Amino acid sequence: MAENKIIQFTTQKIENLISYIPFLARLYSSPYQKVVKKEIELGDITHKDRILNVGCGAVPFTAIHIVKYTGAEVIAIDHDSNAVQKARTLLAKTGYDKKIKVQLKSGEENLNTDDFSAAVVALQASPKTEILNNLLQYGGKGVRIIFRKASPNFSGQYDGLPENPRPDKQVQQSMKTFDTSVLYTSAAL
């Protein structure tokens, strides 16, 4: 394991363990409520949207919070088959499986443009440049894409965003590992 990825490794292990217990998953995800609310506002996400959540992990808390606050449908993807299975099990236990579909996929794969009108990409998702380019290419005109940007003290732990294109808007976040969520809009490119 690369030393500069210790946070991602630890997070993955914690999520794998708590994914079996909905109460612990809910407790674990509670600090992200404010984060996701700000991202919903940043991306102007409503119940009419269909959201792609890239890098959902075993505890797909971003997808859950989006459904909880907007009622939008979410397609959550992860490239780890173990995380996908655990996320499906957790969602079935909590009843969110009716609004959130989890798929084994990578953010770099070609995506159907009809599948989403907005996307939220996890901090640990990588490679961010390829994911962004893919979402802009296959997301269609007007797709809104939100990325979480690592805080300066943690930038070595996560893949960085490209210099270009530049985000259209951003919002400050109060998390230790990431301090900003940024928005790209395909119409602006």
Query: Strands 178-185, 169-172: parallel, antiparallel or unpaired by DSSP?
Result: antiparallel
pLDDT at 7 over 60: yes
Find where tokens 């993807």 sit.
Answer: 77
Confidence of residue 187 (pLDDT cuts 50, 70, 90): low
| CATH number for position 140 | 3.40.50.150
Find where tokens 């612990």 sit.
Answer: 24
Give me the domain span that covers residue 60.
Answer: 3-188
Residue 35 Cα distances to 76, 147, 172, angstroms: 17, 12, 9
Nearest C-alpha neighbor of 35 from the set 183, 184, 185, 171: 171
Average pLDDT, the chain: 91
Residue 106 and residue 173: Cα distance in Å, rounded? Answer: 26
72-129 confidence digits (pLDDT tens): 999 999 999 999 999 999 999 999 999 999 999 998 887 766 679 999 999 999 999 9
| Full DSSP string of 54-101 | ES--SS-HHHHHHHHHH--EEEEEES-HHHHHHHHHHHHHHTGGGTEE
Provide the domain count of the chain. Answer: 1
**How far apart are the two ends of the chain, measured CA to CA in Å?**
37
Nearest C-alpha neighbor of 67 from the set 31, 87, 91: 91
pTM of the model: 0.91
71-83 confidence digits (pLDDT tens): 999 999 999 999 9
137-164 confidence digits (pLDDT tens): 887 788 999 999 999 999 988 999 999 9
